[in-house]
Amino acid sequence: MGGALEVEKVEVGYGSTRVLKGISLAIAPGEFVALLGSSGCGKTTLLRAISGFVPVTSGYVRADGRDVTRAAPDARDMAMVFQTYALWPHMSAAQNIGYGLRVRGWDRGRIANRVEEMLRLVRLEGLGARRPAELSGGQRQRVALARALAVSPRYLLLDEPLSNLDARVREDVRHEIKSIQRDLGITAVHVTHDREEAMILADRIVILDRGEIAQAGPPEEVYNHPVSAFVANFMGATNALEVGGEALPAGTAPAGRGPFVVHFRAEAAVLTATGGNDPDALTLDGRVVQISYPGGVWRHAVEIGARRVLVDAPIRHEPGAAVRVRVPRLALHVFATPMQQKTASVAA
């Protein structure tokens, strides 16, 4: 069973640059947490601070209440799966999987039994004699996962391990990782920039922005109730428009008269040629300027004033057509404009 993991006010810096700015995070035993964010946000640095590969400037890392802030990586009961697999090219899959056990002094028979157990766990039976170059990308990733799990760590750390795989293989492997993690009850921390991957794998998503936690919560909470325009945009509500408070459905506007910034997803809006106003929706008039077919629906780029938004619809509206975009109240994410936030900050 995995253990609890606690990060308390952790700071990491390189010279005068602060990469992590007082991160605090508590992870429950057996929980799967995804660290999500764009390049440079600090997610990989946080994972490496937890694992001991990056020194912490200040703050604490605790594993089941034990302070491991200054402990060596191999003294933390953690195993890391890297983006590059990091397999020994001259060793077979079985030898790679058993390497950590050999270092720990296990005898050959015990290692062989454990390796076979791991090969079955990751569905690589019969491939133990192959070297990494003789395996597919997905198979190499399974070997790396098996090697990490062979030593029975309480914590599994995953540093974008699926980013080098093609879409079909990536989907298969991530479901296997989740299944294995759940069956073993291991505590997992997974770094990714892929929103869908985080949604599928994680019990809780932690979104980082410039070295700080922007929001943390279950996938459905972060997706449906983003706390900021940054989070809304990162979670797929990439359409953004500035509107007056009078245009918004009742109960959606924050305090103040506006204007406000609204975010919504392409699939959440309804596109029609004509139609009356809906008091329970934001209604906008625009013109189709471009169309595409990503599969299942037509995606329309609609020009509304000086801005463009993307809206999906089951039928095609030709470029140049006048259309009405209706965004239901529950699909709207409404935030104060940066100027409003600055004014409120000064007033406080």
pLDDT for the residue 314? 96
Q: Is-contact 156 148, C-beta < 8 A?
A: yes
Q: Is-contact 184 154, C-beta < 8 A?
A: no
Tokens of 259: 């204007």
pLDDT for the residue 35? 97
The architecture that CATH gives domain 237-347 is Beta Barrel (2.40)
pLDDT for the residue 307? 93
pLDDT tens digit string along 35-84? 999 989 999 999 999 999 999 999 999 999 999 999 999 999 999 998 88
Beta-carbon contacts of residue 120 (< 8 Å; ≥ 6 apart): none
DSSP class of residue 75 equals G
**Superfamily holding 5-226:** P-loop containing nucleotide triphosphate hydrolases (3.40.50.300)
* Residues forming beta bridges with residue 325, ordered by sequence position: 271, 284
pLDDT tens digit string along 5-30? 999 999 999 888 999 999 999 999 99
Write the CA distances from 132 to 93, 101, 129, 144, 281, integer angstroms.
7, 19, 10, 10, 55
Residue boundaries of the structural domains of the chain:
5-226, 237-347
pLDDT for the residue 256? 65
